[in-house]
Amino acid sequence: MNIDLLNDMQKEAVINTEGPLLILAGAGSGKTRVLTHRIAYLIEEKEVFPSNILAITFTNKAAKEMRIRVEKLIGEASNGMWMGTFHSICVKILRRYASLIGYERDFVIYDPTDQKTLARECLKELNIDEKKTTFRYVLGKISEAKNDMLTPKEYEKLYSGDFYLDKVVKVYELYQRKLINNNAMDFDDLILNAIKVLKENEKILSDYQRKFKYVLVDEYQDTNKAQYVLVRYLSMGYVNLCVVGDNDQSIYGWRGADIRNIRDFEKDFPGAKIIKLEQNYRSSVNILNAANNVIKNNINRKSKKLWTDNDLGEKIHYYKAQSEMDEAYFVVRNLIADKKRNKRNNLDYAVLYRTNAQSRVLEDAFRREGVSYKLVGGTKFYDRREIKDFISYMRIIQNPVDELSIKRAINIPKRGIGPKTIEKIKGFAYENNLSLYQALVYAAKKDLFSKKINKGIKEFVTIIEKYKNDALERKVSFLMEDVLNDIGYIEELKLDNTLESRSRIENLREMISAAKEFERTSETGLLAEFLEEFSLRSDIDNVEEDDDSVLLMTLHSAKGLEFPIVFMVGLEEGIFPSSRSLNEDESVEEERRLMYVGITRAEEKLFITHSSIRSMYGKTSCNLVSRFIEEIPSELLDVPKDEVASRKTRKTSFTSQMKADLAYKEKSKSKIEDVTVIKTGTKVFHKIFGEGTVVSLKGNKGEENVTIVFKTKGIKKLKLSIAPLEIIQ
Ligand SMILES: Nc1ncnc2c1ncn2[C@@H]1O[C@H](COP(=O)(O)OP(=O)(O)OP(=O)(O)O)[C@@H](O)[C@H]1O
Ligand SMILES: [Mg+2]
């Protein structure tokens, strides 16, 4: 390890190994780098055993990266060190000591799906109406309680008397009992139980405290109470605790992260040193300036200096898109051009957005242009559960013999038709030589089963029958909209009213947008063609993916990472800042910190975009430009070249423009006699640009400007009267 690769302040932070230390510094100032060098320094210079070091990161990805960085510095010498996320560290402790707190050593970890099943069981046993108090609500509250380290009893003391929370207490109690009976822990339990082991067993605690001579924590601003307590327990032996963080990057307030952990560090760990790093090594001057200008609008913050020696760099490229598709193509087009020009890899690029639902349009554009991409920490849009559920319905309407789809769809929303009933119906179908669907139709007519099940079957069959014929002639977007409204899936999700269920609803609505978009380029606009394209799409998906992929992710998952070129899309009021944050100053400040995180991921180039019209969740809306764009001084913004080019043309004198236009018109003669036949969605062929689809049409009669997304030439805005266009039938 070469300590001279660090600046003076960073060196300080590395060699000050003894006692509590808080490194408080802005983005890209080398906090994570200091942590890795500190580990290397401890092992190499101070001859500390790797097994005496504990390093905690926020995500598995971060842990992996840190391990690679340390290995680069000192090679295999790092083996034996404890390095991982809070959860993985706790599992390690519990695998040894769970038996001391009433679990078997081979306890199982319940993931969110298991949690859901368990919570449901509890609600049922307690006779709580799931429609009024949903399992998601209850699980959310239980997790909140656990993050605050409240047992069911303590929770009860705090909240008794509240109608809903009283129910939560009951469920929490039973849920916890069941977990223990099943020898299982949920994610939150991992931390709580590790703490319990330490709290109740002095010997074990002191063993760990003696073992972990040096403790390091990255992204400390995002720790919650339970995590804080754990860190405290583990580090109190030698109190050589080094935490790094940035209050401006605290973005998990909504999940119980407590910024007080940073604020109170000096109080909690007397004698603590604070080191501030002020030089940013990651970003160009322009990018850093933009970030600083945005974050300074937060009132509740201590201002801090952050400067860089890096080049001025390009201005922030700012594109005002006309639609979300235009935006997506802008991203892909610029990415391809930049990649060619600068011989880069796909991995040098990241596209960041506020919510997962925004990925769909981007995914389509990447797929169409054949650029390989990966979604980080999310499921590709068409692989999402709710989308598959909904598509199952559409498949059955198209093809009622599709047994797999029936099995998937029939109990969504819940109709009391579980796998056992399905087996029974299947048996009946087999005996009578019917398809599963025919058996269902028969069962619905003859009331073959119990009242509840018959009702469910009837509901299901009625929907399929109702739309079977429609599918042959109605446009798929209308058809899908009606089916979605009819099946009651949205209502079921609405009752949950959680972050997750809301995002599922958003995704379902987004599917209608996808159908509308499909219609624009499709021949028939009918369900059969839609499903065909849909299945082909997922085929291609699998082939395309390789290791050199552009990363698409939410701003939250981008924390701690860096990329030469970053695209941030959807900078609109109501999207980012999100509509949910708009009524509370504090939430807007958290959104602004997220914007700061986003901007500071970029090293060389940053593109930001917003769209004046956006179809999302099946609705089209005009959103205002995000306040965050307005907070970037205009001299730092640059409008991309093709926009500038078209602006320049606009500026040339009217007559010369007209002459040029006329000459062009003469030369190329528009093939379209009657321009009124051109509409959004019309497929056209342009002499020079080739095949494309009209996405918007603006302006007075006779002077319309038409915007066309071309298959290979990107998006162009053209004068309809003179463009050499042909309609493709
Ligand atoms: N002294 C230095 N000399 C050269 N490069 C440096 C130096 N310090 C940091 N860097 C580089 O700057 C970039 C940012 O560093 P790092 O990721 O450690 O910052 P950070 O403070 O953890 O950022 P974030 O707040 O986003 O997590 C990295 O590529 C790192 O290698
Ligand atoms: Mg970092």
pLDDT digits (tens, 9 = 90+) for 341-365: 999 999 999 999 999 889 989 998 9
723 marked ligand binding residue: no
- Confidence at residue 145, expressed as pLDDT on a 0 to 100 scale: 92
- Looking at the CA of residue 279, tell me the nearest atom of ligand 1: 8
CA–centroid distance, residue 228 to ligand 1 (Å): 25
- Looking at the CA of residue 280, tell me the nearest atom of ligand 1: 12
- Confidence at residue 586, expressed as pLDDT on a 0 to 100 scale: 75
CA–centroid distance, residue 2 to ligand 2 (Å): 20
30 marked ligand binding residue: yes
- Of all protein residues, the one whose alpha carbon is nearest to atom 25 of ligand 1 is 27
What whole-number distance in Å separates Cα of residue 300 and Cα of residue 189? 33
User: In a 3-state reduction of DSSP, which class is residue 57?
Assistant: strand
Among 281, 288, 603, say which to mutate for ligand 1: greatest number of ligand atoms within 8 Å of CB: 281
From the list 249, 322, 398, 421, the catalytic residue is 249
- Confidence at residue 204, expressed as pLDDT on a 0 to 100 scale: 97
Q: Which tokens sit at 137?
A: 């609500």
What whole-number distance in Å separates Cα of residue 644 and Cα of residue 98? 65
From the list 186, 218, 363, 506, the catalytic residue is 218
CA–centroid distance, residue 417 to ligand 2 (Å): 49
What whole-number distance in Å separates Cα of residue 367 and Cα of residue 541? 8
- Of all protein residues, the one whose alpha carbon is nearest to atom 18 of ligand 1 is 30
Q: Is 601 a catalytic residue?
A: yes
- Of all protein residues, the one whose alpha carbon is nearest to atom 15 of ligand 1 is 30
Residues 6+ apart with CB under 8 A from 709: 325, 326, 329, 692, 693, 695, 715
User: In a 3-state reduction of DSSP, which class is residue 277?
Assistant: strand
User: With a 6 A CB cut-off, is 557 part of the ligand 1 pocket?
Assistant: no
- Looking at the CA of residue 600, tell me the nearest atom of ligand 1: 26
User: With a 6 A CB cut-off, is 30 part of the ligand 1 pocket?
Assistant: yes
A 10 A CB-CB count for 504 gives 23
Q: Which tokens sit at 634?
A: 């205009």
- Confidence at residue 670, expressed as pLDDT on a 0 to 100 scale: 41
Length of the chain: 729
Residues 6+ apart with CB under 8 A from 569: 327, 328, 331, 351, 352, 353, 358, 362, 608, 609, 610
- Looking at the CA of residue 6, tell me the nearest atom of ligand 1: 1
User: With a 6 A CB cut-off, is 33 part of the ligand 1 pocket?
Assistant: yes
What whole-number distance in Å separates Cα of residue 708 and Cα of residue 722? 14
| Burial classification of residue 655, based on how many CB atoms lie within 10 Å of its CB (0-12 exposed, 13-18 middle, 19 or more buried) | exposed
Q: Is 218 a catalytic residue?
A: yes
- Looking at the CA of residue 10, tell me the nearest atom of ligand 1: 1
Q: Is 219 a catalytic residue?
A: yes
What whole-number distance in Å separates Cα of residue 456 and Cα of residue 444? 9
User: With a 6 A CB cut-off, is 332 part of the ligand 1 pocket?
Assistant: no
CA–centroid distance, residue 506 to ligand 1 (Å): 37
- Confidence at residue 357, expressed as pLDDT on a 0 to 100 scale: 82
Residues 6+ apart with CB under 8 A from 420: none
What whole-number distance in Å separates Cα of residue 537 and Cα of residue 515? 14
Give the position of tokens 């619905």. 444
User: With a 6 A CB cut-off, is 245 part of the ligand 1 pocket?
Assistant: no
In sign, the C-alpha dihedral spanning 339, 343, 345, 351 is negative
Vertex 228, ends 223 and 233: CA angle to 5°?
150
User: With a 6 A CB cut-off, is 7 part of the ligand 1 pocket?
Assistant: yes
- Of all protein residues, the one whose alpha carbon is nearest to atom 2 of ligand 1 is 6
What whole-number distance in Å separates Cα of residue 508 and Cα of residue 618? 8
25 marked ligand binding residue: yes
304 marked ligand binding residue: no
DSSP state, residue 572: B
What is the model's pTM?
0.71
From the list 601, 605, 614, 627, the catalytic residue is 601
User: With a 6 A CB cut-off, is 479 part of the ligand 1 pocket?
Assistant: no
Bridge-based pairing of strands 349-353 and 550-554 is parallel
From the list 10, 31, 358, 367, the catalytic residue is 31
A 10 A CB-CB count for 540 gives 12
CA–centroid distance, residue 294 to ligand 2 (Å): 20
Across 355-481, where does the E strand assignment appear? 373-375
CA–centroid distance, residue 31 to ligand 1 (Å): 6
Q: Is 31 a catalytic residue?
A: yes
- Of all protein residues, the one whose alpha carbon is nearest to atom 16 of ligand 1 is 30
31 marked ligand binding residue: yes
Q: Which residues of the chain have pLDDT under 70?
A: 106, 111, 113-114, 377-380, 499, 535-546, 640-676, 688, 729
The amino acid at residue 591 is: E
- Confidence at residue 535, expressed as pLDDT on a 0 to 100 scale: 61
160, 171, 346, 450, 491 from 124: Cα distances, Å: 21, 10, 50, 20, 20
- Confidence at residue 328, expressed as pLDDT on a 0 to 100 scale: 96
- Confidence at residue 499, expressed as pLDDT on a 0 to 100 scale: 67
- Of all protein residues, the one whose alpha carbon is nearest to atom 6 of ligand 1 is 281
